[in-house]
């Protein structure tokens, strides 16, 4: 069997970081971890080829070579998925698909020959068994949650690591919280399942032996979902990093209750974590109650962010506009929230109802759904009828927030707010790519950009008052370039 694994294109979004990849001479920010892991579960006698359309084109030669085309995708890749299916069918290829997009909306893709839904550790073997008998079904699904401690290592040799800005490793699946708008519980359940410490260290060691140095993304739904076990891992990971002089800088996703656990924050930074993404969502208590974000309720969220920053981790934040209970001044509230917290990478989007979520079900029952979501909550789309404010008011207010927080003056002011709080725990590793990125930033941001005055003000301030965080200052300036380019489209 010749199996072609295809990872469709991700559109230009806040999350793609496309506009700063040129500074570090990379083609994509993240690797297709799902497909790399699936590849390790396939029969050893199959010929495998992986095409990540974010780093190289899918050619007709690739498609002609394959017996079967396997597609793995998220909702945001939907348009590219349709293109891959169409091209595959022109060559009369068998198409097999899996991943969050298909698990949430299998009925949208009747032209696919077989859909392997839910978690592949359970459903892929069912498909492979039927394939060997010549009696393949159209859909394989299961509610069973696998023990991911038995999940094999990703098949890293299928990609060119030099194309990517960071590598990815998964420690756990599932989240103990059930936010109304989130599909994680639907896909992976509320009880976090984790890999063993030995298994994780083996994955890190594999990347290390393959020559990788630099950023690693721990792609968990909520890295701290099981605090007891994650603390055990972090103690072991710290030893591993120290013995190798910290070859990896780590970042992940977590819940805001991280700020309440001093031991956990200390263990994370000691293990090499320097940033974390938090779902902050909104400063409005009624909206937090509405969406079931109980872990954020009755907290000083700005102070929680600053606590994490003081403990050596930058906070990237997700923010949402469009809740039923959003007050008329929510746009001003969000601006104040973002600016005062010093969350430089503020991913603020409009609420969208994703299939499989409690929000989707509620809006469907209320007759308020309009269309499928695009998967990119930062593209200005709404797929439901708002309850209080009309859609045009929400979109206009949302755009005004973006224009404000990513204007050069306000953006660089936010970077300085972050630097005032941030306390790095160790010197930042500087490699050739980062040196090259710094000199490129001088050209693009210090000479050609309309916000060059604020760029130089930031660098001078960082040199004088925040010398240990100078690397973070330059990095933040580059991310600001990406966000402004994206908004100018």
Tell me, yes or no, whether 395 and 438 share the same domain. no
pLDDT, one tens digit per residue, over 116-163 is 999 999 999 999 999 999 999 999 999 999 999 999 999 999 999 999
Strand ranges (E), 202-256: 214-218, 248-254
Please, are residues 50 and 17 in contact by the beta-carbon 8 Å criterion?
Answer: no
Tell me which of 370, 405, 440 is where a domain ends. 405
Give the contacts of 66 (CB within 8 A, at least 6 positions apart).
2, 3, 4, 49, 93
Please check whether residue 452 lies inside any domain of the structure.
yes
Q: Residue 376: what pLDDT?
A: 78
Closest to 217 measured CA to CA, from 196, 203, 202, 227: 203
Pairing of strands 273-281, 314-321: parallel
Please check whether residue 158 lies inside any domain of the structure.
no
- Average per-residue pLDDT for the chain: 95
Share of the chain above pLDDT 70, in %: 100
pLDDT, one tens digit per residue, over 370-405 is 977 887 767 788 999 999 899 999 999 999 999 999
Q: Residue 196: what pLDDT?
A: 97
Q: What number is the average pLDDT over the span 179-191?
A: 94
Q: Residue 434: what pLDDT?
A: 82
Q: How many CB atoms lie within 10 A of CB 375?
A: 22
Torsion, Cα of 377, 383, 385, 390 (10° steps)? 50
> Which residue is listed with tokens 């299939």?
355
Tell me, yes or no, whether 106 and 213 share the same domain. no
Q: Residue 488: what pLDDT?
A: 83
Tell me which of 107, 140, 173 is where a domain ends. 140
Tell me, yes or no, whether 10 and 132 share the same domain. yes
Which H or E element spans position 54?
none
Instruction: Calculate Rg over the CA atoms of the chain.
Output: 22
Q: State phi, psi for 170 to the nearest 5 degrees.
A: -110, 130
Q: Which residues pair with 276 in a beta bridge?
A: 252, 315
pLDDT, one tens digit per residue, over 275-329 is 999 999 999 999 999 999 999 999 999 999 999 999 999 999 999 999 999 999 9
Closest to 420 measured CA to CA, from 380, 358, 468: 468
Tell me, yes or no, whether 226 and 112 share the same domain. no
Q: What number is the average pLDDT over the span 227-243?
A: 98
Mapped onto helix, strand or coil, the DSSP state of residue 117 is coil
Q: How far apart are CA 248 and CA 212, in angstroms?
A: 8
Half-sphere exposure of 417 (CA within 13 A, CB side): 21
Please check whether residue 17 lies inside any domain of the structure.
yes
Closest to 185 measured CA to CA, from 396, 357, 66, 383: 357
pLDDT at 250 over 70: yes
Range of the domain at 53: 2-140
Please check whether residue 146 lies inside any domain of the structure.
no
Taking the mean position of all CA atoms in its chain, how far away is CA 144?
Answer: 25
Closest to 343 measured CA to CA, from 381, 287, 303: 303
- The pair of three-digit structure tokens given for residue 288, joined into one six-digit string: 């937090």
Q: Tell me the whole-structure pTM to 2 decimals.
A: 0.95
DSSP state, residue 120: H
Mapped onto helix, strand or coil, the DSSP state of residue 57 is coil
Mapped onto helix, strand or coil, the DSSP state of residue 329 is coil
Tell me, yes or no, whether 244 and 289 share the same domain. yes
Pairing of strands 314-321, 214-218: unpaired
Q: Residue 100: what pLDDT?
A: 94
Tell me, yes or no, whether 12 and 124 share the same domain. yes
Mapped onto helix, strand or coil, the DSSP state of residue 305 is helix
Q: How far apart are CA 73 and CA 52, in angstroms?
A: 11
Q: How many domains does the chain have?
A: 3
Please check whether residue 103 lies inside any domain of the structure.
yes
Tell me, yes or no, whether 194 and 262 share the same domain. yes
Q: How many CB atoms lie within 10 A of CB 2?
A: 12
Query: What is the CATH number for 233?
Result: 3.20.20.70
Please check whether residue 421 lies inside any domain of the structure.
no
Mapped onto helix, strand or coil, the DSSP state of residue 374 is coil
Tell me, yes or no, whether 234 and 197 share the same domain. yes
> Which residue is listed with tokens 């509230």?
333
Q: Residue 89: what pLDDT?
A: 98
- The pair of three-digit structure tokens given for residue 280, joined into one six-digit string: 């902050």
Q: How far apart are CA 356 and CA 464, in angstroms?
A: 51
Share of the chain above pLDDT 90, in %: 92
Q: Residue 377: what pLDDT?
A: 65
Please check whether residue 156 lies inside any domain of the structure.
no
Which H or E element spans position 395?
helix 391-405
pLDDT, one tens digit per residue, over 401-444 is 999 999 999 999 999 999 999 999 887 777 777 888 899 999 99
> Which residue is listed with tokens 């130089």?
456
pLDDT at 14 over 90: no
Tell me, yes or no, whether 394 and 461 share the same domain. no
Tell me, yes or no, whether 399 and 439 share the same domain. no
Mapped onto helix, strand or coil, the DSSP state of residue 67 is coil
Please, are residues 279 and 255 in contact by the beta-carbon 8 Å criterion?
Answer: yes
Closest to 79 measured CA to CA, from 18, 10, 6, 12: 10
Please check whether residue 151 lies inside any domain of the structure.
no
Tell me, yes or no, whether 444 and 335 share the same domain. no
Q: Residue 452: what pLDDT?
A: 97
Please, are residues 246 and 425 in contact by the beta-carbon 8 Å criterion?
Answer: no
Q: How many CB atoms lie within 10 A of CB 358?
A: 18
Q: Residue 162: what pLDDT?
A: 96
DSSP state, residue 467: G
- The pair of three-digit structure tokens given for residue 432, joined into one six-digit string: 């050739």
């Amino acid at each position: 069997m010749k199996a072609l694994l295809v990872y469709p294109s991700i559109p230009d979004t806040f999350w793609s970081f496309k506009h700063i990849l040129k500074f570090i001479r990379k083609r994509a920010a993240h690797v297709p971890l799902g497909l790399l892991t699936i590849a390790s579960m396939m029969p050893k006698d199959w010929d495998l080829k992986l095409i990540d359309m974010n780093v190289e084109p899918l050619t007709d030669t690739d498609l002609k070579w394959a017996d079967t085309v396997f597609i793995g995708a998220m909702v945001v890749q939907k348009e590219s998925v349709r293109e891959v299916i169409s091209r595959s069918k022109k060559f009369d290829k068998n198409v097999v698909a899996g991943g969050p997009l298909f698990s949430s909306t299998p009925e949208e893709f009747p032209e696919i020959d077989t859909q392997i839904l839910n978690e592949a550790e359970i459903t892929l073997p069912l498909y492979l068994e039927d394939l060997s008998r010549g009696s393949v079904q159209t859909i394989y699904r299961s509610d069973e949650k696998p023990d991911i401690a038995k999940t094999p290592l990703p098949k890293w040799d299928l990609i060119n690591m030099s194309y990517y800005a960071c590598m990815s490793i998964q420690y756990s699946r599932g989240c103990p919280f059930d936010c109304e708008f989130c599909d994680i519980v639907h896909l992976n359940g509320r009880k976090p399942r984790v890999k063993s410490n030995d298994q994780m260290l083996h994955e890190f060691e594999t990347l290390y032996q393959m020559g990788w140095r630099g950023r690693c993304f721990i792609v968990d739904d909520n890295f701290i979902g099981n605090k007891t076990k994650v603390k055990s891992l972090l103690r072991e990971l710290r030893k591993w990093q120290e013995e190798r002089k910290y070859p990896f800088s780590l970042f992940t996703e977590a819940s805001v209750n991280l700020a309440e656990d001093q031991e956990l924050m200390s263990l994370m930074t000691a293990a090499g974590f320097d940033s974390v993404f938090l779902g902050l969502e909104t400063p409005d208590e009624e909206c937090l109650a509405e969406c079931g974000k109980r872990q954020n309720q009755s907290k000083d969220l700005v102070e929680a962010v600053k606590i994490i920053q003081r403990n050596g981790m930058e906070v990237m934040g997700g923010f949402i506009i469009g809740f039923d209970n959003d007050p008329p001044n929510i746009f001003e509230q969000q601006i104040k929230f973002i600016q005062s917290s010093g969350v430089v990478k503020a991913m603020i989007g409009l609420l969208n109802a994703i299939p499989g979520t409690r929000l989707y079900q509620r809006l469907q029952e209320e007759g308020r759904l309009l269309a499928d979501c695009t998967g990119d909550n930062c593209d200005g789309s709404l797929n439901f009828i708002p309850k209080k404010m009309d859609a045009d008011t929400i979109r206009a207010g949302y755009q005004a927030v973006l224009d404000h927080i990513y204007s050069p003056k306000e953006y660089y002011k936010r970077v300085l707010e972050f630097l005032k709080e941030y306390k790095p725990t160790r010197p930042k590793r500087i490699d050739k790519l980062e040196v090259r990125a710094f000199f490129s930033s001088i050209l693009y941001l210090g000479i050609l950009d309309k916000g060059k005055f604020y760029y130089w003000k930031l660098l001078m301030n960082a040199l004088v008052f925040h010398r240990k965080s100078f690397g973070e200052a330059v990095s933040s300036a580059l991310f600001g370039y990406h966000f402004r380019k994206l908004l100018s489209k």
